[in-house]
């Protein structure tokens, strides 16, 4: 038998679990069997062969029950005897072969093969000790039939004792326990006891119709003579099926973990009307041939026909599969709040935690640290990915932090890396995913890359994969607006220049308003003239998640990866199918109390002598992963980072208390470090069986590590001890890591994720959270395109919900604010009046149509009802910055491109993700997106509308950090924005700062957009004037004159532009609502965009 590559037990794919003729054992210690009950079909029949035994097995923390007949036990006995004889025969063959070889005739002697090989394809092991150890004396099986010799009253008791004795005989022998015959009898496999995939459910051999030829599928398994009464054809393949709470996996045999196929359970379509047929994962199929026993398993766009050897087995499988997916009310086949595939997490102390990052510097540092600490696997997906991206700066001293270098280092250590790229329409976008795939695929064989979708086969030409995800070891994931690509790295300063380059090398010096890269042959070569053109600063928000929400997001990645593989590369062996790791259902999800007495359970387990041991894979970085409550509940941190860094790098912003506010908010301005996982943390208890009503929770939940809104003196001490103490006037880029209630939401459909129905839970979450808002809604988004009720063109209804909530506040005479921060201009190439800038104008049209133009806009409709009071309720803003392009060079300005996708409600709830506010992102059937709703569980004293208010630790700290950056506030001024809706904050600070900054920028630069330019003719006139005066300017008039001219007492006075610009505070400016309001900006007939569906732009 040839040697094959041995893959660790925890890998989600492998070539085989054999090496040098030996199989990796399933059992590391002896299981225990207990006869629970004995039954017989007819009380008048005392034949022991008709007895059925309910047997409970326990291995480590896993328990499962099997119903076995005495005849099956005897069949096992004979199979073991047969195996022993075959192995002994092979051993004698080897001895004869050696003797023949010694006399020189070995080459002419053929070795006789056994034609009657066991039906599971077992290969005999040639080991004399193994033969002896696996031999089961026949006398051990005799007591099973002896109860017939006694009285009828004692048959059950005698049979129970006899069967218990026989089971103890072979379950007490490690060699016997790990042989194929016993493993088949026990219905166990290499996946049975991997804790990350959940409890042990049903397993066994089945036949599958038309199994796709995925990597590792063995054509030999189609040969199944003797199975299913001999009626199967080559269209049916014999496989080992493994049922887990979240999926049904098909393997070549119990000793493999390489997937032949997998069905990941999705939410089922709702039942059709009252009295309509209910939908199930599995259902029995009536065959014309009564000797064929078939059932179907269907989830999403997948469907498998499966056969077994009896009608009873069909019913057992159908019941088990439907129970796994449907029985827990919070299971994967039920839609949850907002219509999401994922249930709310963090309702108990299950380890759900979140931490925010503002701008690329903070997020990329954290991502780099997590990648460096990866031990098992890394999942990455994005709209655009650049292998040459530096995650730390300055780039000259951080070559090892380049993305391709980080991934190469981890791949060489054995970490499995899966990267899913969006395959763009090359004529429309210049992100060149083909180049990225080629570069990444050449890094190492452990780096696997796919691009999706293929346009022609799928018919998907308009929509994109827009998620931005990095998931490390299923322990930490990063989610939000930041792609790992050029142009995204930035700091709170948002510099416009970098000449000579030290922070942004080559094409990372990025300004898509001016030019997109035309060539990727040399990414370190500048695309823009640094002496003349500013970069476009980038503002974004990202988030790290731990615990069950992380595994929910990883499940989403697995669904997308498997869907892409099936459609794009079904026969490519280098790209395996993946299995999602599982988070067990919390007891209160099944109707139990939320309050769990952990210490009481711990004492009970100690008294009962329950020993919980680790059986996690060797590839996984943790010692244990609990099945019920995740390890993060013990205060553990993600891989590869020092546990003390969070406290050392946090800085508290003291909140002054003029209005009775107390407490402090921790905001870090240093490079973020996420804390390390503690490999020595031991798990005290695991759940034995998900579906048992006797659930036991023995996980010891330690207090979650605090990193944030705590007593200010604690953080003062931490900062003093740190070598990197934070300056008091720095703005926070990294938030506190806090325990939160989290729910993952997404936009997916059949084309993007293979689901049977469209999911628009992001859209539903936005609408629900706005509707329930009490005091304010703060939104930052790259787009703002939505429709009012009755709008037949734009389908998402965020605008309608905002309108209704404002009208309700007006009727109730209550203070309510809506603040929207968005880009001043779309981030696409071309000046507003340029011939090739139809895309820019089209997006502007739909955004102004939403905000202030025509009858469809929210401001128009509110002004009809509220008049001038409208702006007390809702207002729109952008961000802008300035600086010198180089030392002694010209002053330049640029919008700070708002790319964040975040909403904060009442300082208690935050929504962060990849989704824009437009139909593309929100309808579910178009772009694929993912996000998370984070609800605070920890609060501090604050104020709202002048009244005391419990502000959430996560949401409040995020808003304060964002506002302090936008308003240019220092640490000691944070108290000015603690009450977001008061007149002193909203009117006197926020509105006033935006208005003053806008006036100054207009005086110095006359930059675009502005309210004084209402037509394309006026725009052309302004552009011509400044180009003639300055000799050179940017596409949006971003260069300042050397001197500002003004008239004073009839004389022209010249002043230094910096004299005006020094009065700028932060980056906040007013959004120009009157810009180009006399124009119809939709594409015209001589522009190619005219023939494109308007849905592309909205």
Residue 702 phi, psi (nearest 5): -75, 165
* Mean pLDDT on 493-514: 96
On the 0-12 / 13-18 / 19+ scale of CB atoms within 10 A, 50 is: middle
* Mean pLDDT on 361-365: 97
Provide the pLDDT for residue 100: 61
pLDDT tier for residue 989 given thresholds of 50, 70 and 90: very high
Cα angle for residues 438, 444, 447 (degrees, 5° grid)? 75
CA dist 929 to 465, 916, 994, Å?
A: 7, 9, 31
> Is the pLDDT assigned to residue 491 strictly greater than 80?
yes
Ordered DSSP codes for 219-264? GGGG--TTGGGGT--TTEEEEEEEEETTEEEEESSTT---EEEEEE
pLDDT tier for residue 175 given thresholds of 50, 70 and 90: confident
* Angstrom distance (rounded) from CA 453 to CA 461: 9
* Angstrom distance (rounded) from CA 852 to CA 1075: 10
* Mean pLDDT on 139-143: 53
Q: DSSP label at 327? A: S
Higher pLDDT, 306 or 145: 306
The DSSP element (H or E) to which 97 belongs, if any, is: helix 70-102
Q: Could you tell me whether strands 293-299 and 874-884 are parallel, antiparallel, or unpaired per DSSP bridges? A: unpaired
Percent with pLDDT over 70 in the chain: 73
Which parts of 583-649 fold into alpha helices (H)?
A: 598-608, 645-649
Provide the pLDDT for residue 547: 94
Provide the pLDDT for residue 454: 81
> Is the pLDDT assigned to residue 986 strictly greater than 60?
yes
pLDDT tier for residue 702 given thresholds of 50, 70 and 90: very low
**CA 768 centroid distance within chain:** 22
Using DSSP, state whether 971 is helix, strand or coil.
helix
* Angstrom distance (rounded) from CA 211 to CA 192: 22
* Mean pLDDT on 1068-1083: 95
Using DSSP, state whether 1058 is helix, strand or coil.
helix
Mean pLDDT, the chain, whole residue set:
79
* Angstrom distance (rounded) from CA 870 to CA 892: 34
How many helices and strands (H and E) does the chain possess?
26, 37
> Is the pLDDT assigned to residue 549 strictly greater than 50?
yes
* Angstrom distance (rounded) from CA 837 to CA 784: 19
Ordered DSSP codes for 268-315? PPPP-STTPPPP-SEEEE--SSTT-EEEEEEETTEEEEEEESSHHHHH
The DSSP element (H or E) to which 546 belongs, if any, is: strand 541-546
On the 0-12 / 13-18 / 19+ scale of CB atoms within 10 A, 805 is: buried
Residues with active-site annotation: 466, 468, 473, 899, 901, 906
Provide the pLDDT for residue 136: 55
Q: Is 735 in contact with 362 (CB distance < 8 Å)?
A: no
Provide the pLDDT for residue 97: 62
Q: Strand (E) positions, 121-196?
A: none
Q: DSSP label at 986? A: I
> Is the pLDDT assigned to residue 544 strictly greater than 80?
yes
pLDDT tier for residue 455 given thresholds of 50, 70 and 90: low
Q: From the CB of residue 230, how many other CB atoms can be counted at a distance below 10 Å? A: 9
Q: DSSP label at 696? A: -
* Angstrom distance (rounded) from CA 736 to CA 738: 6
Provide the pLDDT for residue 290: 79
Q: From the CB of residue 56, how many other CB atoms can be counted at a distance below 10 Å? A: 15
pLDDT tier for residue 712 given thresholds of 50, 70 and 90: very low
pLDDT tier for residue 877 given thresholds of 50, 70 and 90: very high
Please, which residues have CB within 8 angstroms of residue 66's CB and are 6 or more apart in sequence? 54, 55, 57, 186, 187
Q: What is the 3-state secondary structure (H, E, C) of 446-478?
A: CEEEEEECCHHHHCCCCCCECCCEEEECCCEEE
Cis before 394 (ω within 30)? yes
Provide the pLDDT for residue 30: 92
Q: Is 16 in contact with 22 (CB distance < 8 Å)?
A: no
> Is the pLDDT assigned to residue 690 strictly greater than 80?
no
Residue 3 phi, psi (nearest 5): -80, 145
> Is the pLDDT assigned to residue 585 strictly greater than 60?
no
Q: Strand (E) positions, 917-1067?
A: 929-936, 939-944, 947-952, 1044-1048, 1051-1055
Q: Strand (E) positions, 645-714?
A: 652-654, 664-666
Please, which residues have CB within 8 angstroms of residue 907's CB and are 6 or more apart in sequence? 942, 944, 949, 951, 952, 955, 956, 959, 980
Please, which residues have CB within 8 angstroms of residue 689's CB and are 6 or more apart in sequence? 63, 64, 199, 695
Provide the pLDDT for residue 330: 64
Q: Is 592 in contact with 330 (CB distance < 8 Å)?
A: no
pLDDT tier for residue 44 given thresholds of 50, 70 and 90: low
Provide the pLDDT for residue 654: 34
pLDDT tier for residue 22 given thresholds of 50, 70 and 90: low
Q: Is 1005 in contact with 1038 (CB distance < 8 Å)?
A: yes
Least trusted range by pLDDT, from 153-157, 289-293, 703-707? 703-707
Provide the pLDDT for residue 997: 98
* Angstrom distance (rounded) from CA 595 to CA 988: 46
Q: Is 616 in contact with 622 (CB distance < 8 Å)?
A: yes
* Angstrom distance (rounded) from CA 832 to CA 696: 64
Most confident range, picked from 13-17, 780-784, 1056-1060: 780-784
Of 421, 364, 416, 366, the C-alpha closest to 393 is 364
pLDDT tier for residue 215 given thresholds of 50, 70 and 90: very low
* Angstrom distance (rounded) from CA 780 to CA 765: 16
pLDDT for 528-543, tens place per residue? 999 999 999 999 999 9
* Angstrom distance (rounded) from CA 770 to CA 658: 30
Of 438, 946, 429, the C-alpha closest to 661 is 946
Higher pLDDT, 292 or 598: 292
> Is the pLDDT assigned to residue 722 strictly greater than 50?
no
pLDDT for 798-827, tens place per residue? 999 999 999 999 999 999 999 999 999 999
């Amino acid at each position: 038998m040839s040697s094959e590559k041995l893959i660790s037990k925890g890998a989600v794919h492998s070539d085989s679990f054999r090496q040098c003729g030996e199989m990796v054992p399933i059992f590391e210690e002896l299981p225990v069997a207990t006869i629970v009950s004995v039954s017989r079909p007819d009380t008048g029949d005392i034949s022991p062969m008709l007895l059925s035994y309910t047997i409970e097995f326990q291995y480590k923390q896993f328990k499962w029950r099997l119903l076995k007949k005495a005849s099956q036990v005897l069949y096992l006995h004979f199979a073991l005897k047969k195996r022993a004889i075959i192995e002994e025969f092979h051993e004698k063959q080897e001895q004869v072969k050696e003797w023949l070889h010694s006399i020189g005739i070995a080459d002419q002697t053929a070795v006789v093969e056994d034609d009657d090989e066991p039906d599971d394809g077992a290969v005999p092991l040639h080991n004399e000790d193994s033969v002896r150890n696996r031999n089961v004396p026949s006398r051990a099986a005799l007591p099973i039939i002896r109860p017939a010799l006694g009285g009828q009253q004692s048959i059950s008791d005698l049979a129970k004792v006899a069967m218990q004795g026989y089971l103890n005989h072979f379950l007490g022998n490690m060699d016997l326990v790990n042989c194929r015959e016993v493993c088949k009898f026990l219905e166990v496999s290499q996946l049975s006891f991997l804790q990350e995939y959940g409890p042990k459910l049903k397993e066994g051999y089945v036949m599958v119709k038309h199994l796709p030829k995925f990597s590792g599928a063995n054509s030999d398994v189609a040969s199944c003579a003797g199975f299913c009464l001999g009626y199967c054809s080559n269209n049916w393949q014999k496989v080992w099926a493994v049922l887990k709470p979240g999926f049904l996996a098909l393997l070549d045999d119990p000793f493999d973990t390489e997937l032949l196929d997998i069905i990941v359970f999705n939410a089922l379509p709702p039942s059709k009307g009252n009295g309509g047929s209910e939908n199930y994962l599995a259902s029995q199929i009536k065959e014309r041939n009564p000797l064929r026993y078939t059932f179907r398993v269907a989830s999403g766009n997948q469907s498998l026909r499966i056969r077994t050897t009896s009608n009873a087995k069909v019913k057992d499988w159908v019941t088990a599969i439907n129970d796994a997916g449907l029985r827990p009310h919070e299971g994967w086949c039920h839609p949850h709040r907002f219509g999401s595939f994922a249930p709310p997490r963090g309702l108990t102390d299950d380890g759900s935690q979140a931490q925010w990052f503002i701008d690329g510097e903070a997020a990329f540092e954290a991502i780099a640290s997590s990648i460096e600490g990866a031990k098992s696997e890394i999942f990455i997906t994005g709209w655009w990915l650049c292998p040459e991206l530096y995650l730390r700066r300055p780039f000259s001293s951080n070559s090892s932090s380049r993305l391709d270098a980080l991934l190469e280092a981890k791949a060489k250590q054995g970490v499995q890396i899966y990267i899913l790229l969006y395959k763009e329409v090359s004529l429309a976008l210049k992100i060149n995913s083909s180049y990225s795939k080629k570069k990444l695929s050449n890094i190492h064989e452990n780096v696997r890359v796919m691009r999706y979708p293929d346009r022609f086969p799928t018919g998907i030409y308009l929509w994109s994969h827009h998620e931005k995800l990095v998931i490390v070891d299923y322990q930490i994931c990063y989610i939000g607006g930041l792609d790992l690509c050029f142009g995204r790295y930035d700091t709170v300063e948002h510099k416009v220049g970098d000449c000579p380059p030290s922070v942004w090398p080559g094409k990372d010096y990025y300004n898509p308003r001016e030019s997109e890269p035309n060539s990727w042959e040399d990414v370190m070569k500048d695309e823009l003239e640094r002496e003349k053109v500013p970069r476009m600063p980038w503002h974004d928000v990202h988030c790290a998640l731990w615990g069950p929400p992380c595994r929910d997001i990883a499940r989403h990645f697995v669904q997308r990866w498997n869907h892409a593989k099936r459609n794009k590369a079904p026969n490519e062996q280098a790209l395996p199918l993946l299995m999602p790791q599982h988070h067990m259902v919390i007891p209160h999800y099944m109707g139990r109390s939320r309050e769990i007495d952990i210490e009481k359970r711990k004492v009970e387990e100690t008294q009962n002598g329950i020993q919980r041991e680790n059986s996690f894979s060797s590839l996984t970085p943790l010692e244990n992963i609990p099945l019920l409550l995740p390890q993060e509940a013990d205060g553990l941190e993600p891989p590869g980072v020092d546990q003390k860094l969070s406290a050392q790098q946090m800085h508290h912003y003291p909140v002054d208390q003029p209005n009775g506010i107390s407490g402090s908010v921790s905001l870090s301005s240093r490079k973020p470090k996420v804390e390390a996982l503690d490999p020595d943390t031991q798990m005290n208890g695991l759940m034995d069986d998900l579906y048992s009503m006797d659930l036991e929770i023995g996980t010891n939940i330690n207090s979650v590590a605090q990193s944030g809104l705590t007593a200010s003196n604690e953080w003062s001490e931490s900062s003093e001890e740190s070598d990197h103490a934070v300056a008091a006037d720095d703005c926070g880029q990294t938030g506190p890591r806090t325990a939160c209630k989290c729910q993952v939401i997404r936009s997916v459909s059949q084309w993007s994720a293979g689901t049977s129905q469209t999911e628009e839970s992001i859209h539903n979450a936005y609408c629900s959270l706005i509707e329930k808002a009490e005091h304010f809604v703060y939104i930052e988004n790259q787009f703002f395109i939505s429709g009012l009720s009755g709008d037949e063109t734009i389908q998402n209804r965020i605008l309608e919900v905002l309108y209704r909530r404002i009208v309700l506040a007006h009727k109730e005479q209550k203070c309510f604010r809506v603040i929207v921060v968005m880009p001043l201009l779309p981030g696409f190439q071309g000046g507003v009046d340029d011939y090739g800038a139809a895309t820019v104008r089209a997006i502007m049209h739909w955004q102004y149509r939403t905000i202030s133009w025509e009858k469809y806009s929210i401001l128009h409709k509110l002004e009809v009802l509220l008049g001038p009071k409208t702006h007390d309720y809702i207002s729109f803003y952008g961000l802008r910055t300035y600086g010198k392009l180089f030392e002694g060079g010209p002053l330049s300005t640029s919008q700070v491109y708002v790319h964040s996708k975040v909403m904060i409600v009442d300082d208690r709830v935050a929504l962060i993700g990849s989704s824009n506010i437009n139909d593309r992102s929100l309808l579910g059937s178009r772009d694929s997106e993912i996000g998370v709703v984070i609800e605070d569980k920890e609060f501090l004293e604050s104020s709202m509308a002048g009244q005391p208010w419990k502000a959430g630790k996560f949401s409040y700290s995020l808003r304060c950090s964002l506002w302090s950056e936008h308003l240019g506030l220092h640490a000691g001024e944070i108290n000015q924005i603690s009450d977001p809706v008061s007149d002193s904050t909203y009117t006197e600070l926020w509105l006033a700062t935006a208005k003053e900054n806008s006036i100054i920028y207009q005086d110095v630069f006359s930059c675009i957009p502005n309210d004084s330019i209402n037509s394309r003719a006026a725009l052309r006139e302004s552009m011509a004037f400044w180009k003639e005066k300055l000799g050179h300017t940017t596409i949006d008039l971003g260069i300042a004159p050397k001197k500002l001219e003004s008239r004073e007492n009839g004389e022209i006075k010249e002043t230094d532009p910096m004299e005006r610009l020094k009065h700028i505070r932060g980056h906040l400016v007013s959004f120009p609502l009157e810009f180009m309001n006399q124009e119809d900006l939709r594409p015209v007939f001589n522009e190619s965009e005219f023939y494109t569906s308007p849905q592309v732009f909205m």
